[in-house]
A = this chain, B = another copy of it.
Amino acid sequence: MKKFYIAKARRLRGTPFSSRIESQGLTAYTTYNHMLLPAAFEGTEKEYFHLKEHVQVWDVAAERQVQIVGKDSAKLVQLMTCRNLLKSKVGKCYYAPIIDEQGNMINDPIILKLDENKWWISLADSDVGLYAKGLASGLKLQAEVSEPDVNILAVQGPKSFKLMEKVLGKKITELKFFGFDYFTFKGNKFFIARSGWSKQGGYEIYIENREAGLNLYDELFSAGKEFNIKPGCPNSIERIESGLLSCGNDFDNGDNPYECGFDKYIDVESDINYLGKKALVQISKEGIKKKLMGVKIDLDKVEMMEEIPLQNGKSLVGHLRSAVYSPHFKKVVGIAMIKKEYWDKKTSFELEINGEKNKGSICDLPFISNDK
């Protein structure tokens, strides 16, 4: 597969850590929320094995925050998501589908409640801030929408717990999954959540002071030597095997949250008010006609630039959305939107890549269940 360079420009913003990761062996970038996101160092497969055994620090500053502040902030946040946030608590993270009035997906962020009137929406790749601005203006809400200079470092992998305890003290081990709190390092306070885009365990550090963040970055690598620490990035093998969905890859604005398997984050029962509720109520009655499932394909490599149709004879089974070679299964694993007629797991299909036909079969998500 031919490789292409990325052209740099201010429009694809660097992060506070760009110069660090570039000197630590970075080889590839992707872009995310108008920012550079590291995509490879030693190679996805090597990084996969390392992530599952040791600890990595990821520059995920591209996971930007939409900050919403003001007396109508809770109302505005609730308007954008089908997850019921009425009983949400300060200090907790909520994975929540953001949908439009048609009930289709816009983003799948983590929503953080910092205060009764202050929220962060920690984004996947789309300008939810513009959606919030449009709504706030249209409805004349008292809610200020902005993008604060918050840059996230993720510390991921089974040894992340020992490393973070060593650097930040015992108290951080008491943080529950999807909880967050403030922790102090060398006199600076850091907002830290127990979260991250892998199932190997770990934390996300929301850095509000760039200089203090760089000091913490260096300390993590220094203290992490004994844990075999390496720089890393979201790993496509690990996240697909674990069934972690990727906005823009696995789903887009043509899909609704039921089709993505987000049923437990959809409230169509209570009387909360959000955009797209009417559409989702209707869908909940009628049922869905396609949904995301796992697929295994007899291939040893794959590259995705658009969805790829899956055929059973002349019939369309669905579309492959994400795929990667899995060293565990010794074949390509992927996430596909499968039509209802083919949800039976005995379904097999063919797909054409570069003029060659390949066979595959359907399975449940996740491929591997390994919550840490």
Contacts and interface: CB of A to CB of B under 8 A. Distances in A.
A13 interface: yes
Given A132-B134, A134-B130, A306-B14, A30 B9 contact: yes
Interface stretch (A135-143, A187-195, A218-226, A292-300): A135-143
B248 A10 contact: yes
Interface string A302-346: 011111000000000000011000000000000000000000000
Contacts of A4: 5-6, 22, 26-29
Interface string A240-284: 000000111100010000000000000000000001000000000
Contact of A11 (B100, B130, B248): B248
B30 A7 contact: yes
Nearest to A34: B248
Contacts of A106: 130
A161 B321 CA distance: 41
A98 to B, nearest CB: 9
Interface residues of A, number: 57
B305 A8 contact: yes
A160 to B, nearest CB: 24
Interface string A1-26: 01111111111111000100010001
Interface stretch (A109-117, A121-129, A200-208): A121-129
Interface in A64-86: none
Nearest to A233: B7
A18 B12 CA distance: 21
A51 interface: no
A116 B321 CA distance: 37
A49 interface: no
Contacts of A101: 133, 136-137
Nearest to A39: B7
A31 B5 contact: no
A135 B275 CA distance: 12
A36 interface: yes
A131 interface: yes
Interface in A124-180: 125-128, 130-139, 147
B322 A10 contact: yes
A166 to B, nearest CB: 32
Given A11-B125, A135-B138, A36 B5 contact: no
17 contacts: A6-B29, A7-B39, A9-B236, A9-B248, A9-B322, A10-B304, A10-B305, A10-B307, A10-B321, A11-B248, A13-B306, A101-B136, A126-B127, A127-B130, A134-B137, A134-B138, A135-B135
Given A8-B303, A9-B249, A12-B305, 4 more contacts: A5-B28, A9-B236, A10-B321, A12-B31
